[in-house]
Amino acid sequence: MIKIVKGAEVDGPRGEAGGKRHGVFAYHADPELYPLVCGFSRQPLLDACRQLKSLYGVTGTPVGLFRRDGTPRISHARSKLARRPPSRSQTMVS
């Protein structure tokens, strides 16, 4: 599985936002394997999958979104996914 690490929220409480957060997060993949997969996005997993496909030609490989400490971002939804296989768009680079 290719791990995409979701970093800090970069669009924060200062500036024109007026104390509101807009949900823009930094993200990156393993820098040794995929050094060009990184950026800032409201949908880091989707954008990382697009970069993996366009830059490295990776398709059909499971990709997951993880916190900086290595725990998966899917928490309470995990039990539902265990009963039925996840859809292809959620877990594969397409």
Residue 44 lies in a domain: yes
Which residue would you say has higher pLDDT here, 82 or 5? Answer: 5
Residue 93 lies in a domain: no
**What integer pLDDT is reported at residue 18 of this predicted model?**
56
Give the domain range for residue 59: 2-88
**What integer pLDDT is reported at residue 76 of this predicted model?**
31
Residue 12 lies in a domain: yes
CB 39 within 8 A of CB 51: yes
**What integer pLDDT is reported at residue 82 of this predicted model?**
40
Residue 46 lies in a domain: yes
Which residue would you say has higher pLDDT here, 75 or 91? Answer: 91
Please, which pLDDT band fits residue 28 given cuts at 50, 70 and 90? Answer: very high
**What integer pLDDT is reported at residue 94 of this predicted model?**
54
**What integer pLDDT is reported at residue 77 of this predicted model?**
30
Residue 51 lies in a domain: yes
Domain count, the chain: 1
Q: Which residues contact 8 (CB under 8 A, 6 or more apart)?
A: 25, 26
